Amino acid sequence: MAYLNSTVSFEKMLMKFISEEDPMQSILKWLCERLMEAEVESKLCAEKSERNKERQGYRSGYRVRRFDTKMGTMYLMVPKIRNGGYIPFFVEAKKRSEAALMNVIQEAYVNGVSTRKIDTLTKTLGIESISCSQVSAMTKD
């Protein structure tokens, strides 16, 4: 994979991605990881291992997080921050869409749509399966 301060030419970097099993997914993963690094550096006011007076916090390693996209599932190395935590900006948008989907399922259930029909609906939206008990659990609140 390409490194942050790499001196490799752009063409060589592209050739490295092309040699991977899924080049587009590899490029997306690389881009997501660079975006997260830039966002954390901005939040902390310091690069990784940099010492300065303006620093707002410290890193605490990485955690692996699954990220589902239209191109497939990726496992990203998300930076951890000691105090305050960190959630990438592009993951928050997904949480909103999940909340909207849950609202649609709850509304359908409350309006009398059967759980079997809700399962059929979710399959058309790309969700492999949702059980009757999951629908009931979502609508309890």
Domain locations along the chain: 10-87, 92-139
Reference 1, options 70, 77, 63, 59; nearest CA is: 77
* H-only helix segments in 21-73: 23-44
| pLDDT computed for residue 29 by the predictor | 92
| pLDDT computed for residue 84 by the predictor | 79
Q: By three-state DSSP, how is residue 65 classified?
A: strand
| Contact predicate 109/102, CB 8 Å | no
Measured at the CA of 76, the angle between CA 33 and CA 79, to 5 degrees, comes to: 65
Q: Is the pTM of this model over 0.85?
A: no
User: Mean pLDDT of successive 10-residue segments in the chain (141 residues)?
Assistant: 64 87 90 92 86 87 86 90 85 70 82 82 74 74 60
What residues does 65 pair with on adjacent strands? 76
| Contact predicate 57/81, CB 8 Å | yes
| pLDDT computed for residue 4 by the predictor | 58
| pLDDT computed for residue 92 by the predictor | 66
